[in-house]
Amino acid sequence: MTNQNILLKFTAKNDFRFHLEHICKNGNYLYATDGAICVRMADDGSEPTPLQGDVHTEKLSKYIDDWLEKESENQNLSPLVFDVPRRVECLNCDEDGLIHEGDRCYTCGDCDGSKLVYPERAQSLCGKNFQTKYIAKLSKLPNIKFGLSQNCGRDGMAYFTFDGGQGVLMHTGRTAYC
């Protein structure tokens, strides 16, 4: 799997903001975010460069770089253990994983079009709740390590690293989520 293939899993779906829907490049790095999770990987030049971003991309990448710079000293990370036994049928979308509203048709954000959702929508890790769909995606990354942010200044934000990249994830901000 290429870096860009990995990053595409973390871009926003059905969001009209360019910098959230696309992988963006700034300097030597590629970035993906949907607003709740941000992932950065090096651009090794082995794939065609994605679309150059706009002014928001530049701002966003500086923001993420700043976070990751501070967190790079964070030694308090552990391998991410995730054990979800099952997924259930999504009730929000049709057989294609699509939602139809009048003339508009878009990919279901709950299941990303897979038609399957995790019944437990949040996972408790390090004493905070994080959306299961993100933890599931992160658990597939090679050598994923995860812990609470030490330096981001936002209570309960997580910091993670994996082979070839790193990122931050917002918690759900709730003690219970269903």
Binding site for Zn ion (CB under 5 A): 90, 92-93, 108, 110-111
The length of the chain, given as a count of residues: 178
Residue whose structure tokens are 């460069």: 49
Cβ 163 to Zn ion, closest distance in Å? 30
Cβ 69 to Zn ion, closest distance in Å? 36
Got the DSSP string for 6-37?
Answer: HHHTTS-SS---HHHHS-EEETTEEEEE-SSE
| Cβ nearer to Zn ion, comparing 60 with 111 | 111
Cβ 167 to Zn ion, closest distance in Å? 24
| Cβ nearer to Zn ion, comparing 90 with 125 | 90
| Cβ nearer to Zn ion, comparing 108 with 169 | 108
Residue 44 to residue 135: CA distance in whole angstroms: 26
Residue 11 to residue 82: CA distance in whole angstroms: 22
Contact 165, 134 (CB under 8 A): no
Cβ 112 to Zn ion, closest distance in Å? 8
Q: What are phi and psi of 153, to 5 degrees?
A: 75, 10
| Cβ nearer to Zn ion, comparing 14 with 124 | 14
